[in-house]
Structure 1
Amino acid sequence: MTEWVMLTDFALAGALLLAGKILRIYCPPLQRLYLPAAVLAGIIGLFLGPSGLNILPWSQGFATNASLLTAALFAALGLTTDLPSPRLLAQRAGSLWAFNQVATVSQWLFAALMGLIMATFIWPELNPGFGLVLSAGFMGGHGTSVVVGNIFGQLGWADAMTLGLTFATAGVFISISLGMVILQAAVKFGLVKDFTCFDKMDSYQQKGLIAPSEQQPVMRETLSALSVDSFAIHLAIVAGVTAFAYHSANYLSSFMGQMQIPNFVTAFIGGMLVRAIAKRTGGKRYLCDKVFSHAGATTTDFLIVFGISAIKITVLTQYLLPMILLLTGGILFTLFLVLWVAPRMLGEDWFEKGIFSWGWLTGTVAMGIALLRVIDPKMKGTVLDDYAIAYVPGSITDVFIISMMPIAMVKGYQAEAFLVGFGYLALVLALWYWLLRRKNQPGIKLQQA
């Protein structure tokens, strides 16, 4: 791929992203759906791309841009990741960490088991790892779908990429639509006192804009422009870690035979190592976490555009019935996690954390924040702070599952994978029960208003 071809691809993705944002601003029905501009852009790209009218001049390999962006995303995540102390984790977000682990691992195990049953007893032509495309798309989103799709592609199942991206896109719609139904039911049962419906939001919130009086700086200047621009150094670090991820993953994979080390793993580890070195040497004082966070968010937006645009409609028609069955099971199981497990693990303020968890378990963290803002518009609560603390150690589990579960399902190690997964769930639940849960567990309060 020449530099001009890549430039054209990214220019098209940028134009679609801008078009999606303009639609989001000036089309009220789309505002009511809370759809991100990147999703709208991807849908336009799908309609005008190879699977639709085929009028956009995408390059032949434009879909591979998503893989590059995924590595950059995890590099940025690693550059903002500090492992919290066990004391802080236990005191501040212990129960939320335990619930996140239970929800994450159990959703992967449920999807894997359901897909394996379907492949064994109903559709023998299905790949034994079919179910994993659901959890990759739901809780993982488009980035994880690309990772899992690449792993399955290396194992001989190229259709997994399209299926995972489709579940990720459907998850965004499901997250908001069913999330609003859950919120309305919560008002009825007295779980929520303040409910900010769409009509009560100001025009800026409805359009996905920030009022000029409330806008904040994106970054702080850490370096003198006389020597180098601060943003240039941050961009150089992200690019360097991303390059390291590709070369190190290829090098390590050369020793593993048929097993490939995903570059997102080395990107995340590489980012954490650079951050640790910067803290040890004092360089961390001249780095701005907001820049790395925005770098991750930017790559995610472009990744979504490329990912949705690359969905192959002809592939979806071949898997339509299994996908519908898997999607239905995934929705019901996630509802069970949020409405039955969450109240029993998270205590009295379970609903705020539960509705946020519904967002990221089906769509993205951004969807969870959008739902949380409906009941906490000024974000006075501590849900996001607690989630950030709980996420860091939990992300290690995510990396392990994403990189190893597809290989285990395809290579015939299903029993071992389920044994390890259920064993880990038992360990987390035991740890939560004996060390992390609140002394006075309040139980469930569903008093009708």
Structure 2
Amino acid sequence: MLSNWDLFTDFGIAGGLLLTGKWLRANVVLLQRLYLPAALIAGLLALALGPSGVDLLPWSAGFASNASVLTVALFGTLGLSTDFPSMQVLMRRAGTLWAFNQIATVSQWAFVAMVGLGLMMFVWPDLPPAFGLVLSAGFMGGHGTGVVVGEALQGQGWADALTLALTTATVGIFASILIGMMLLHFGLKRGWIKGFSSFDKMSPIQRRGLVPLEEQDSVGRSSVSSISVDTLALHGSLILLVTVIGQHSAVYLSSFHEMVQVPAFVTAFVLGLAVRALLKRSGGNEYFDDRLFQHGTSASTDFLIVFGIGAIQITILLNYALPLIVMVLIGVLFNLFLVLVVAPRIFGDNWFEKAVFSWGWLTGTVGMGIALLRIIDPKMRAKVLDDYAIAYVPGSITDMVIISLVPILMMQGMAHLAIGGMWLYVLAVTLVWFALWGRHRLAHRAFG
């Protein structure tokens, strides 16, 4: 039976591993050259020292479930800090990036679903029909989406799915940065970029990730007087409330029918958006700082990675080793096709910065994309991140629909419906891109 201190013990261990990971990242040059986040290093330590390794860490019996709780908190906090852009702003500033994001995201889900189904039908008949989804879940959304999809597939009877999705998320981070660096050198040789900041030219801040005192910025603003309530307590209370209500709402909505499974991350995200809209309408948003909410999202992600990697079961991986390796290789090749063949045709001139950034989030996380982008555009002159922030919000709705429905459809024998629907959506977005941007670009090439 779990005691009141078990949860704090788990987070205390994870916090200690994060501190150790940060110390190693700041002092071991090899880790700096690999651009590995401290959370990933901490997660690998959790794996090595945990139940799948030497089993030295005193985790609680339910420590692996902490990742799913943090996933709900992550999406709830994301909703609290997210504004929907107007259609005019979206089309003017980030239309082509939105189109590529949608085409790349949905086509990756559809493609790996087809490949996984093919491997089950022609090579390894014991694989579940949704085997391919563990790759897109880990590659596209990182450990957060890996937890969501893994648990959804577990709920459909595939007990090993969570470990496999967490594994592909971990492998994806390595692929995003290692192959991403190869892409940078390839782009330099082809003349797509004029140069980039090699590791030897980087400042100590960029290498070690430690900001000196004179350059440090505040985390957020004090929006209330501490005589009444602390600012962090105010923001933390809202995050906890949205997370808990989001979880219980998902349980309630899922109770009406056995075929209806509403993910808690979706209800938390929607609730976060609704609370943000209510705060704006009432004027209460003046007392809440988006930077603190964004730090809440980042902190949830860091701890989630530690718990997620630490919960990987090596024995399960050995059972799926060969098909998993095949899926990873095919997934990497498909993503290279997206960034080297599809991206230049959609983005047009100066496409490489956006393509490299896209490689980072297509295989790892947005953080990996930012790390690659900073190497070739350290002063962020291309405004890629600004455009991505605008394009992300409407695109996230598609992500949530896919993550919520596709795993269930694949496991319930409706793979043709799931895969066909995704390819139809890719075709529709491609037609929209051509009508709004592509036709003008082709005309410019013809007469320019």
Shorter-chain TM band:
over 0.9
SS of equivalent residue, structure 1 residue 334: helix
Deviations 1:46-96 (A, max 9, x none): 011000101111111100000000000000111111111111100000000
Give 2:156's aligned residue: 155
Distance change >3 Å, CA 438–CA 219, structure 1 → 2: farther
Match of residue 251 from structure 2? 250
Q: Is the contact between residue 75 and residue 238 of structure 1 (CA under 8 Å) also seen in structure 2?
A: yes
Query: Which AA in structure 2 matches 1:242?
Result: T
Return the letter of the residue paired with 1:414: A
CA deviations 1:156-201 (Å, max 9, x no partner) are 1111100000000001111010000000011111111131000001
Query: 2:202 aligns to what?
Result: 201
Secondary structure in structure 2 of the residue aligned to 1:273 = helix
The question of whether the paired residues in 2 share the 8 Å contact of 1:95 and 1:437 is answered with no
Stretches of structure 1 lacking an aligned partner (at least 5 in a row)? 445-449
Alignment partner, residue 432 of structure 2: 431
| C-alpha distance in structure 1 between counterparts of 2:278 and 2:195, whole Å | 45
- How far did residue 441 of structure 1 move? 5.0
Q: What is the match of residue 179 of structure 2?
A: 178
| Mapped contact 1:348–1:442 kept (Cα < 8 A) | no
- Residue correspondence of structure 1 range 161-240 to structure 2 within 5 A: 161-240=162-241
What is the CA-CA distance between 1:3 and the residue it aligns to?
2.2
Give the match for residue 420 of structure 1.
421
Quick one: which amino acid aligns to residue 10 of structure 1?
F
Look up the equivalent residue of 2:281 and give its one-letter code: R
Query: Unmatched 5+ residue regions in structure 2?
Result: none
> How far apart are residue 443 of structure 1 and its match?
9.8
Cα distance in 2, alignment partners of residues 438 and 367 from structure 1: 33
Residue 212 of structure 1, CA deviation: 2.7
**Counterpart position of 1:100:** 101
Match of 2:61 in 1: 60
Distance, in Å, in 2 between the alignment partners of 1:430 and 1:205 is 41
Instruction: Tell me which residue corresponds to 1:277.
Output: 278
Letter in 2 for 1:207: R
Q: What residue in structure 1 maps to residue 307 of structure 2?
A: 306
Deviation of 1:226 (Å): 2.3
For the residues of structure 1 that align with 2:443 and 2:205, how far apart are their CA atoms?
38
Q: Distance in 2 between matches of 1:87 and 1:318?
A: 51
Q: Distance in 2 between matches of 1:418 and 1:145?
A: 19
Deviations 1:361-413 (A, max 9, x none): 00111100000010111223210000000000000000000011100100011
The SS at the match of 1:41 is helix
Q: Relative to structure 1, is the Cα distance of residues 20 and 324 closer, same or farther in structure 2, using a 3 angstrom cutoff?
A: same
Partners of 1:244 and 1:436 lie apart in 2 by: 42
Identity in percent = 56
2:70 is the alignment partner of 1:31: no
The answer to which of 203-212 and 49-58 deviates more is 203-212
2: CA distance, partners of 1:14 / 1:28: 23
CA distance in 2, matches of 1:441, 1:286: 49
Counterpart in 2 of 1:365? 366
Q: Residues 214 and 347 from structure 1, CA distance in 2 versus in 1: closer, same or farther, beyond 3 angstroms?
A: farther
CA RMSD of aligned residues (A): 1.3
Q: Which whole-Å CA distance do the structure 2 matches of 1:212 and 1:193 have between them?
A: 33
Q: CA deviation at 1:26?
A: 1.0
Aligned partners of 1:347 and 1:443 also within 8 Å: no
> Using the alignment, how far apart are the partners of 1:377 and 1:46 within structure 2?
34
The one-letter code sitting in structure 1 at the alignment partner of 2:19 is L
Match of 1:447?
A: none
1:389-400 residue pairs with structure 2 within 5 A? 389-400=390-401
Letter paired with 1:245: G
Say yes or no: does 1:131 pair with 2:132: yes
- Paired amino acid for 1:151: A
Name the counterpart of 1:260.
261
Distance change in 2, residues 1:381/1:441 (3 Å): same
The Cα offsets for residues 246-270 of structure 1, whole Å up to 9 and x where unpaired, read as 1100000001224321100101101
Q: Secondary structure at the match of 1:2?
A: coil
CA distance in 1, matches of 2:301, 2:55: 24
Q: 1:150 to 1:293 in 2, by over 3 A?
A: same
TM-score by length of 2: 0.97
Report the AA paired with residue 153 of structure 2: F
Distance in 1 between the 2:20 and 2:107 partners?
38
Question: How many pairs align?
Answer: 444
Which residue of structure 2 lines up, in the alignment, with residue 90 of structure 1? 91
In the alignment, is the contact (CA less than 8 A) between 1:344 and 1:443 conserved in 2? Answer: no
Structure-2 separation of matches of 1:285 and 1:37: 33
Aligned-partner Cα distance in 2 for 1:67–1:165? 12
In 1: Cα distance, 2:357 partner to 2:258 partner: 41
Shift in CA distance, 174/280, structure 1 to aligned 2, threshold 3 Å = same
CA displacement 1:104-142 (0-9 Å, x = unmatched):
000000110100111111111111000000000001100
Note the C-alpha offset of 1:286: 1.6
CA distance in 2, matches of 1:71, 1:266: 9
Q: What TM-score, normalized to structure 1?
A: 0.97
Whether contact under 8 Å (1:343, 1:443) holds in the other structure is no
Q: Which amino acid aligns with 1:361?
A: L
Query: Matched residues in 1 for 2:215 and 2:389: separation?
Result: 23
Q: Deviations over 1:312-358 (max 9, x none)?
A: 00000000000011001000000000000000001212111100000
Kept after mapping to 2: 8 A contact 1:166/1:311 = yes
Q: Give the 3 Å change call, closer, same or farther, for CA 442–6 of structure 1 in structure 2.
A: farther
How many Å separate the matches in 2 of 1:333 and 1:67?
A: 29
Helix, strand or coil at the partner of 1:439: helix
Alpha-carbon distance in structure 1 between the residues aligned to 2:146 and 2:441: 40
> Are 2:21 and 1:13 equivalent residues in the alignment?
no
Q: Please give the alpha-carbon distance, in whole angstroms, between the structure 1 residues aligned to 2:40 and 2:232.
A: 27
Name the SS for the 1:380 alignment partner: coil
For residue 159 of structure 2, what is the amino acid of its counterpart?
A
Specify the alignment match of 2:324 in structure 1. Answer: 323
